[in-house]
């Protein structure tokens, strides 16, 4: 667990430092060479800095153990961090869209080799960060880290659109195709739609977890199968499970023979809990309620 925490810590810090470097590069080059899509992408990265800091803070809070005021732990702090990242992405999408549309009503700017080079560097850099961060986030079931990885993916789309848009502007200049001269601005609109879509998806996932939405049916069936393997379990009366940030809480009502002693019932409960947590490392708590069962 310590290694996972260290990996998550390094992944989020690498993301933060990378976002700072890319923000400075994109905004500076975007202003210098009048590239709307690169400037908008730079502002997007500036929002990423705020979002990454929020994710880092949420991850630190979520690792705190349960206490008297938070008996189920602090896992939902990561969900709140993920929701904040979605909010920042949504604002960035609207900003990019506004300035890209406005660019169509102005004289087309001259494309720059430096601008397209920066966009290409960002594309490769962000894709590597996406793969690295998503791998660690999936392994540790970290909502904050997965949100950061998806943020990197949004940047990959943005940088790809920037490369294509600036490339089209070069084609328009070389072959006197006027409409291609606005490729930079058109790319900005595409970027805004992609980023907005990602923000909505992330926001919905965070909202579902905060509203105690149950885990998917596949997970529930897996828990049911493990419970049914326990000797003396006669019936599963009800089972529920919900995500609580980077871990899952399971709640089951199980019927066992009514003539068993309290000690035997306790042992069965422990066996169910151990089995589920052994096979599902993302489950942090299993609450078992026992009902008496009698042969009719």
Most confident by average pLDDT, 39-43, 101-105, 119-123, 283-287: 119-123
Q: What is the pLDDT of residue 91?
A: 83
Q: What is the pLDDT of residue 158?
A: 79
pTM reported for the whole predicted model: 0.61
Question: Per-residue pLDDT for 1 more than 60?
Answer: no
The residue that leads in pLDDT, 291 or 100, is: 291
CA 46 to chain centroid: 18
Kindly report which listed range (34-43, 194-203, 248-257, 271-280) carries the lowest average pLDDT score. Answer: 34-43
**Average pLDDT along the chain:** 81
Domains defined for the chain, CATH in brackets: 2-210 (1.20.1510.10), 217-293 (3.30.70.1350)
Mean pLDDT of 40-46: 75
Query: Per-residue confidence at 211, pLDDT binned at 50, 70, 90?
Result: low
Q: What is the pLDDT of residue 34?
A: 75
* CA-angle at 190, arms to 185 and 195, nearest 5°: 120
CA 265 to chain centroid: 40
The residue that leads in pLDDT, 48 or 239, is: 239
Q: What is the pLDDT of residue 230?
A: 92
Mean pLDDT of 142-154: 80
pLDDT tens string 257-269:
999 999 999 999 9
Kindly report which listed range (59-73, 84-98, 188-202, 247-261) carries the lowest average pLDDT score. Answer: 59-73
44: nearest Cα among 212, 157, 176, 135: 157
Mean pLDDT of 41-68: 69
Q: What is the pLDDT of residue 236?
A: 93
The residue that leads in pLDDT, 107 or 266, is: 266
Query: Per-residue confidence at 64, pLDDT binned at 50, 70, 90?
Result: low
Question: Per-residue pLDDT for 169 more than 60?
Answer: yes
Query: Per-residue confidence at 63, pLDDT binned at 50, 70, 90?
Result: low
Secondary structure element (H or E) that encloses residue 219, with its range: helix 217-228
Q: What is the pLDDT of residue 157?
A: 82
Q: What is the pLDDT of residue 55?
A: 66
Query: Per-residue confidence at 129, pLDDT binned at 50, 70, 90?
Result: very high
Q: What is the pLDDT of residue 121?
A: 93
8 Cβ partners below 8 Å, 6+ apart? 59, 136, 137, 140, 142, 145
Kindly report which listed range (4-8, 89-93, 275-279) carries the lowest average pLDDT score. Answer: 4-8
Query: β-pairing, 248-257 with 283-293?
Result: parallel
214: nearest Cα among 175, 176, 242: 242
């Amino acid at each position: 667990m310590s290694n996972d925490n260290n990996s998550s810590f390094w992944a989020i810090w690498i993301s933060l430092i990378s976002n700072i470097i890319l923000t400075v590069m994109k905004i500076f080059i975007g202003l210098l060479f009048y590239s709307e899509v690169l400037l908008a992408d730079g502002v997007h990265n500036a929002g990423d800095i705020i979002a990454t800091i929020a994710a880092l803070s949420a991850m630190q809070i979520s690792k705190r153990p349960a206490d008297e005021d938070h008996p189920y732990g602090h896992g939902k702090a990561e969900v709140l961090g993920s929701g904040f990242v979605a909010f920042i992405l949504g604002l960035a999408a609207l900003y990019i869209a506004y300035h890209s549309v406005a660019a169509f009503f102005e004289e087309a700017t001259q494309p720059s080799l430096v601008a397209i080079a920066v966009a290409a560097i960002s594309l490769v850099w962000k894709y590597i960060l996406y793969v690295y961060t998503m791998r660690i986030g999936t392994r540790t079931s970290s909502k904050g880290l997965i949100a950061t990885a998806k943020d990197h993916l949004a940047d990959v789309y943005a940088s790809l659109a920037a490369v294509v848009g600036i490339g089209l502007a070069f084609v328009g200049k070389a072959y006197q195709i006027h409409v291609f001269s606005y490729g930079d601005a058109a790319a900005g609109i595409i970027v805004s739609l992609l980023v907005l879509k990602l923000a909505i998806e992330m926001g919905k996932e965070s909202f579902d977890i905060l509203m105690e939405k149950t885990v998917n049916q596949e997970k529930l069936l897996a828990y049911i199968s493990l419970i049914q393997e326990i000797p003396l379990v006669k019936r599963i009366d009800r089972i529920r499970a919900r995500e609580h940030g980077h871990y899952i809480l399971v709640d089951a009502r199980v019927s066992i023979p009514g003539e068993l002693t309290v000690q035997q019932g306790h042992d069965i409960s422990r066996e169910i809990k151990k089995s589920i947590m052994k096979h599902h490392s993302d489950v942090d708590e299993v609450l078992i309620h026992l009902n008496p069962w009698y042969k009719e």
